[in-house]
Amino acid sequence: MSIRRIWVVATNVFRSVVRDRVLYLLGLFTLILLLASRLLPEISSVAAEKTLIDLGLAAIAVFSLVVTLFVGSGLINREIEQRTVFTALSKPLSRSEFIIGKHLGLSAVTAVLIGTMGLVYLLLLQSYGIDFDWRYMGLTLLFLLLELALLNAFALLFGVSTSSLLATLLTLAIYITGHLSPDVVKLAQLTDNPGLQQAVKGLYLVLPDLSQFNLRNDSVYGIFPATPTLIATAAYGVAYTVFILMLSSLIFSKKEF
């Protein structure tokens, strides 16, 4: 496996996505924050600051998720439809390197988007004199990036297996299920159906628990999990991402064009 070839694929993905004007989302994000900063004090003067902090973090998560859903899920299929995949794979480039390069390029776009929106957001908070901890905010954005890197891997997995539309819907389903799964397990435990409890628990163990990466409330109230918990969560995200990329590479290696 060649790092140089992976880097070339990742760089091409990054440039291609940026040319698609994805980063114009930054302008819309900034506009939403400015409007919210004007309206929220009028609506909720008591908790306006905490609401603005939470709203900003939620907006960063939503805008970044949009890139994963609508760009990541169609990344491979677009290559196939435009026949550029034949040119890429005719070179000394393995299919595993192709998948890893695509994932790194997409994750790089996500990182730049999160970093830029985060900087705009924190500067806005500072300009309004709203107290926040840079460390907590940075950690929240870092774990958001880990979550979306995992979702990027799922988007590629579904992209090499299904159509772009279905891949988008399946990636969205993983996102929703991943955030609701702990609550669903708790609800299932309240029932008297052992079969349902086992089925829900099995799904919880197989599907990613994305709620672990959501530190928005922790950031708003300044109460973070212990360091060992954060390290374990980060390791879980990286390991799961690697596993999904390996599965994507395996499926893509058996795909005939």
**Phi then psi for 242, rounded to 5 degrees?**
-60, -40
Place of tokens 């999990």: 225
Residue 77 near residue 159, CB atoms below 8 Å: yes
Residue 139 near residue 215, CB atoms below 8 Å: yes
pLDDT 10s digits, 63-118? 888 888 888 777 777 777 766 666 666 667 778 888 898 999 999 989 988 988 88
Positive/negative CA dihedral, 101, 106, 109, 111 = negative
Mean pLDDT of 111-133: 82
Q: Within 10 Å of residue 173's Cβ, how many Cβ atoms?
A: 13
pTM attached to this predicted model:
0.85
Chain center to CA of 153: 9
pLDDT, averaged across the chain:
79
Domain ranges within the chain, ordered by starting residue: 3-253
The SS3 of residue 92 is: coil
